[in-house]
């Protein structure tokens, strides 16, 4: 008896939406990096080889791992016979990853996954680390903010390393953008269904608040471990905006490690302060429309970031991860900080960054006004 084989369909983006992969496109080489070719990137890979590599991984052992992942996501028993079709969509090509969206059609429902694919040696090293970080954080915390991983696989030739995780359906990238008519700046949600549109100020504040809360929830006060680096320009955070509310998720965790090494001279309070200082700077950075010049968010971002940071700490306190009363004591400490001390710490933080990074010039242009705004926001804080 012949084993059931689901239909597999390949789609690629075009100016007119997704179109079926044809012979001509299948033979076209993939761009493995955003920049010029790197001699270390390995042999050329065609778009057809990319799709075939993904198919070889998901179809292994009679699609067993994909069937298990589908059952896990849908929360019910699923067999291979239940899967009518698998749709694999090429999403975008970054410097390190080439993610594809995989839709598994089961009756009248659909399980949706992302397959993160790495082809260069650098990308493969980062992918291995990220898979381990996601596994670690999802086992350590019962939060819904990171993709749930399912399995890792490898295809060759050419060599491709990849892992499957849940896709955040209905969530979209957002970026700072300048309105062409009134020249005002705001956040634009890249909604693939409704089209791109500007978020109102209240929702913008929620985006920064929830992003800061999320990162704080994963910050470890004892070891100083945190999710970093992350960047709005890379589309690391995604947003769902049903009605007037928003919901923020983080789609990547490149690293989970301390920025400062815990030692006898630095207390948990000191480590947390530096986390907040860095958070307040990084939250303001983006690129115009995701690919343009480095951009700096308005001052309201600072208030939302601090409020989200404290909301994350209060959640930790409610879950008894930190002791009762810690947050109020930390707020009192923030109140007591002199602007001169804040200035010294902010400049020390900026000096410790990679000075060749494209963000540094704009940080240095704005750091003085940022310190004034940050200090003013701390003075306006209230204990619970």
**pLDDT score, position 33:** 60
Phi first, then psi: what are they for 16, rounded to 5°?
A: -110, 25
DSSP helix/strand/coil, 273: helix
Largest Cα–Cα separation, the chain = 78
Q: How far apart are CA 296 and CA 359, in angstroms?
A: 10
Neighbours of 283 (CB within 10 A): 25
**pLDDT score, position 335:** 94
- The dihedral sign for the CA sequence 26, 29, 32, 33: negative
- Domains for the chain: give ranges and CATH numbers: 7-166 (3.30.200.20), 174-379 (no CATH)
Q: How far apart are CA 160 and CA 130, in angstroms?
A: 15
Could you identify the residue written with the tokens 């409704």?
194
Query: Which pair of structure tokens corresponds to residue 69?
Result: 């992942």
Q: How far apart are CA 128 and CA 146, in angstroms?
A: 16
Share of the chain above pLDDT 70, in %: 95
CB 49 within 8 A of CB 158: yes
Could you identify the residue written with the tokens 């990171």?
146
Share of the chain above pLDDT 90, in %: 84
**pLDDT score, position 383:** 67
Nearest to 92 by CA among 205, 192, 1: 192
Q: How far apart are CA 195 and CA 192, in angstroms?
A: 5
**pLDDT score, position 37:** 44
Nearest to 251 by CA among 67, 97, 358: 97
**pLDDT score, position 194:** 87
For the stretch 321-346, what's the b/e string if a residue is b when 16 or more beta carbons lie within 10 angstroms of its beta carbon?
Answer: ebeeebbeebbeebeeeeeeebbebb
Could you tell me the pTM of the whole model?
0.92
Q: How far apart are CA 255 and CA 225, in angstroms?
A: 9
Positions of the chain with pLDDT lower than 70, given as ranges: 1, 32-43, 262-265, 383-384
**pLDDT score, position 315:** 97
**pLDDT score, position 36:** 42
Q: How far apart are CA 267 and CA 45, in angstroms?
A: 50
Run of H or E including 72: helix 60-74
Phi first, then psi: what are they for 296, rounded to 5°?
A: -125, 120
Residues sharing a CB contact under 8 Å with residue 220, sequence separation 6 or more, in sequence order? 226
Chain centre distance of CA 368 = 28
CB 265 within 8 A of CB 291: no
Q: Strand 83-90 and strand 7-14: pairing?
A: parallel
Could you identify the residue written with the tokens 């900080």?
337
Run of H or E including 18: strand 17-20
């Amino acid at each position: 008896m012949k084993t059931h084989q689901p239909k597999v369909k390949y789609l690629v983006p075009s100016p007119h939406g997704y179109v079926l992969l044809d012979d001509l496109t299948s033979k076209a080489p993939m761009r493995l990096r955003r920049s010029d070719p790197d001699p270390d990137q390995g042999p050329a890979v065609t778009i057809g080889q990319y799709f075939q590599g993904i198919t070889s991984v998901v179809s292994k052992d009679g699609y067993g791992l994909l069937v298990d992942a589908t059952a896990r996501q849908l929360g019910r028993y699923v067999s291979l016979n239940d899967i009518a079709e698998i749709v694999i969509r090429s999403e975008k090509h970054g410097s390190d990853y080439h993610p594809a969206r995989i839709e598994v059609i089961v009756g009248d429902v659909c399980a949706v996954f992302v397959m993160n694919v790495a082809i260069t040696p650098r990308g493969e090293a980062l992918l291995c680390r990220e898979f381990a970080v996601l596994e670690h954080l999802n086992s350590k915390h019962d939060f819904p903010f990171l993709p749930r991983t399912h399995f890792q696989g490898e295809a060759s030739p050419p060599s491709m390393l990849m892992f499957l995780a849940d896709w955040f359906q209905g969530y979209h990238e957002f970026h700072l953008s300048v309105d062409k008519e009134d020249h005002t700046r705001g956040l634009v949600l890249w909604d693939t269904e409704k089209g791109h549109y500007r978020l109102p100020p209240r929702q913008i504040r929620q985006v920064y608040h929830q992003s800061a809360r999320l990162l704080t929830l994963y910050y470890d006060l004892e070891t100083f471990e945190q999710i970093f680096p992350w960047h709005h320009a890379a589309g690391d955070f995604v947003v769902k905006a049903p009605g007037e509310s928003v919901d923020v998720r983080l789609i990547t965790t490149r690293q989970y490690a301390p920025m400062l090494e815990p030692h006898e001279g630095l207390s948990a309070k000191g480590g947390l302060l530096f986390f907040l200082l860095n958070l307040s700077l990084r939250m303001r950075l983006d690129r115009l429309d995701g690919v343009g010049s480095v951009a700096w968010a308005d001052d309201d971002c600072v208030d939302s970031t601090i409020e989200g940071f404290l909301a994350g700490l209060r959640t930790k306190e409610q879950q008894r991860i930190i002791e009762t009363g810690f947050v109020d004591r930390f707020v009192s400490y923030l109140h007591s900080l002199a602007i001169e001390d804040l200035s010294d710490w902010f400049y020390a933080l900026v000096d410790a960054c990679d000075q060749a990074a494209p963000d540094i010039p704009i940080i240095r242009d704005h750091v003085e006004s940022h310190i004034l705004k940050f200090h003013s926001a701390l003075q306006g804080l209230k204990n619970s």
